[in-house]
Amino acid sequence: MLEVQLDAREDDWELSRGQRVRAMTYNGTVPGPTIEGRVGDTLVVNFTNHLREPTTIHWHGLRVPAAMDGSEAVQTAVPPGGRFRYQFQLTDAGTFWYHPHTDEPVQMERGLYGAIVVRGNSEPTVDHEQTLVLDDVRLDTTGQIAPPGGLLEQHSGREGNTRLVNGRSDLTLRMRAGELQRWHVINAASARYFRLALPGHSFVVLGTDGGFLPQSYRTAEVLLTPGDRVDLLVEATGAPSSTVALQTLPYDRGHGAGTTEIEDVLRVQYTAEPPLPRRTLPQIVNPIARIDTQNAVHRTITLDEVDDVAHQRMVFRINGEAHPNVTPVIARIGETQVWEIVNASGMDHPFHLHGFFFQVLDRNGEPESRVSWEDTVNIPGNARVRIAFRPEGRPGMWMFHCHILEHVANGMMGHLQVIAADAVEPPQRSPAPASPVQAAPHQHTHVHG
């Protein structure tokens, strides 16, 4: 058994030497403590909320029982001063993370997140491992984290003015020439897409959200949407004492959102030591069978946005509904689900499913060449992506949503109700009480794109 104490509390967060902001932390640090376990371990987290507001913890990517998932569908938020004991088994090797599922644009922006690394039986041998949690924050003129902003930020999501790795804007990674490093990378940012490149180096991708790929592959750059993880090998091919910056390349998220410049994320400093003899790359072999979709249930999940002019806000919807007024999608245990996720807006949305890994079948009709297990996939503006998954058990209420925190907060979240194979289908609620958009008197609603 692996037992961890996590306390959410306000504390100072040092972004760089001498630069502190008021933050929300787990155990006083940002990120919170990295939880490291092995497949088969039972993880117990004794959680205490010392914040002045309610919160929960969600275990992003872990296949936990529904009651442990930390979303508002399954748990009343832990009140200030309250406690909750999370307990579940670690079933999959990979890189995961934890964060609240309440008031995400504030609580996560202010520092509530941490990494989880679960190890299996065939971990590659490397010289060094790093866990890199990417983030950004928006500092206001007083140097503090800005409260949620206006319409533009609600629409595009917050891309901060300060980029962070492991809670620092000035992180330096040491590397010895010739060595082999393994990086567990997590994107914990509100809305920023990180498109990582390390000039003069390449990455070998070992795994993604749900663990190792069937075969690793080499690439010059890797894109992480909010919520995404990637497991990389980095060969230290630089010269002793040289430095190189890990960069994020421009990425256009549509509707004028995203980045247009190359920005530095952290500094890699080679030590002066003589180069190590180069290692042969460890080979990962992790066969993944493609999900058989022959008898699948097919659904369309449409993402769109409407401009609620009367209330001066954007509403982001799934199948025409805005959270919390949503009709659950029903799925039976053992039944294969094929979801065509249609982005009817001109802006990218990183789609995340709780509780179950899926495989990407195709993007705009182009079959996906690699098989992998994912819990987060980018749906580019005006694109469609088909995914397949099969609930293997764990009945209950799950969430699926865009991982841009301002979009979740403005409605882009749905419920998935997993029921027993032979259960009577629960009666569908009559369509939700009209969402704020429809209810608005003198509305001037229009759909973009």
Stretch of residues binding Cu ion (CB under 5 A), selected from 217-225, 322-330, 394-402, 417-425: 394-402
CA 418/CA 355 separation, integer angstroms: 10
- Of the pair 184, 349, the CB lying nearest Cu ion is at 349
352 is a site residue for ligand C2O (CB under 6 A): yes
CA 119/CA 324 separation, integer angstroms: 36
Query: Among 148, 221, 151, 231, which Cα is nearest to 190's?
Result: 148
402 is a site residue for Cu ion (CB under 5 A): yes
415 is a site residue for ligand C2O (CB under 6 A): no
48: Cβ contacts below 8 Å, ≥ 6 apart = 5, 6, 7, 8, 82, 83
Residue 401's binding partner, choosing from ligand C2O, Cu ion, none, with beta-carbon cut-off 5 to 8 A by kind?
A: ligand C2O
Stretch of residues binding ligand C2O (CB under 6 A), selected from 36-44, 148-156, 331-339, 399-407: 399-407
- Of the pair 4, 413, the CB lying nearest ligand C2O is at 413
What residues pair up with 19 in beta bridges, in sequence order? Answer: 16
Query: Among 104, 64, 92, which Cα is nearest to 191's?
Result: 104
Residue 404's binding partner, choosing from Cu ion, ligand C2O, none, with beta-carbon cut-off 5 to 8 A by kind?
A: Cu ion
Q: Which of 157, 207, 210, 227 binds ligand C2O (CB under 6 A)?
A: 227
25: Cβ contacts below 8 Å, ≥ 6 apart = 8, 9, 10, 11, 13, 32, 111, 112
CA 25/CA 107 separation, integer angstroms: 9
SS3 content of the chain, % helix, strand, coil (to 5): 5, 45, 50
Neighbours of 17 (CB within 10 A): 9
- Of the pair 59, 203, the CB lying nearest ligand C2O is at 59
CA 145/CA 161 separation, integer angstroms: 10
Shortest approach of Cu ion to residue 404 CB, angstroms?
4
| Contact characters 9-48, ligand C2O, x per CB under 6 A | ----------------------------------------
Stretch of residues binding ligand C2O (CB under 6 A), selected from 79-87, 262-270, 397-405, 425-433: 397-405
| Contact characters 331-360, Cu ion, x per CB under 5 A | ------------------x-----------
Cβ atoms of residues 34 and 78 within 8 Å: no
| Residues forming the site for Cu ion (CB under 5 A) | 349, 402, 404, 407
Residues of this chain that bind ligand C2O (CB under 6 A): 58, 60, 99, 101, 227, 352, 354, 399, 401, 403
